[in-house]
Amino acid sequence: MESEQNISMMQIVGILRKHIKAIFGTTIVVTLAAIFVTFFVMTPKYSATTQILVNRKLSEDMQSAQFQQVQADVQMISTYKDIITSPTVLKDVNKKVSSYPGYPGSMGALKGSLSISNSQNSQVFSVTAKSTDAGTAAAIANMTAKVFKKKVVKIMSVNNVSIVSEATANTKPVSPRKTLNVIAGIVIGAILGIALAFVRELTDRTVLTESFLTDDLGLISLGTVTEIDQKDIERTVEHKKVQSKLSINKSSRNHRRV
């Protein structure tokens, strides 16, 4: 079993060495394509985050129920996430940011540009907006938080939402991730090159050595026919023509002498 495995590994290495130029070529092409798409085709996107605190203020005689109220506020965050991305909130936000540069294009796209997250058992959750313009991303996040804070009072009949920190424009793009894309191009190119090498090797039915016929297929070799270069054939033909002319000339001279 070990010998068979060694032979198999040797064959694999042999295939890779045989097609090493094609593998490198494919890797380079795919990597260059990834670089071109990343730097010249993909539009950079920026993100901005605002934080919202859910904390209902209790009267002095209700301080004993503070822990239960905190747990209730934490559980309410799941409901608040749905309210933030609902048409009730996003309709107003969409109207106010529709003229901004980098505007997503529609209310559906605006919803897709927003993401809501929070840590476990935390009363603070974050609203993150993405846009092709850093200022617009911050404006969307802040506008969403403000509209939500105003709307939730009427919807839930509670006033336990406050904005902890407003979003600021961050000029460092979050996508595309240039380094990751280039590395992905190298890896994908190498894998594709190796795959093509094996496909080409497995589909190639050309017999290259006599040992393949005798050792692998168990056939009897009756002889080999070597390939003759076209230039060699032309030289041979030309040489025969010259020899023929010389022979004719020599025969003609001998006949005259006689």
The neighbour count for residue 149, using CB atoms within 10 Å, is 15
DSSP 8-state secondary structure symbol assigned to residue 160: -
Q: What angle do CA 55, 56, 61 make, to 5 degrees?
A: 130
Q: Got the DSSP string for 60-87?
A: GGGGGGHHHHHHHHHHHHHHHHHHHTSH
User: What CATH number labels 46-165?
Assistant: 3.30.70.1130
Q: How far is CA 221 from CA 30, 112, 213, 214, 218, in A?
A: 44, 70, 7, 7, 9
Give the helix, strand, coil percentages of the chain, each rounded to 5: 65, 10, 25
**Cβ-Cβ contacts under 8 Å for 170 (sequence gap 6 or more):** 46, 47, 48, 134, 137, 138
CA-CA-CA-CA torsion for 60, 62, 64, 68, nearest 10 degrees?
A: -140
**Domain residue ranges in the chain:** 2-41+177-203, 46-165, 210-257
Does an H or E element contain 52, and which? strand 46-54
Q: Please state the pTM of the whole predicted model.
A: 0.66
pLDDT by 10s per residue, the chain, length 258:
444 444 578 878 888 898 899 999 999 999 999 999 999 999 999 999 999 998 766 555 554 555 566 677 777 888 888 999 999 999 999 999 999 999 998 999 999 999 999 888 788 899 999 999 999 999 999 999 999 999 988 888 878 888 999 999 999 999 999 999 999 999 999 999 999 998 888 787 776 677 766 776 677 767 666 766 777 777 777 777 777 776 666 666 655 555
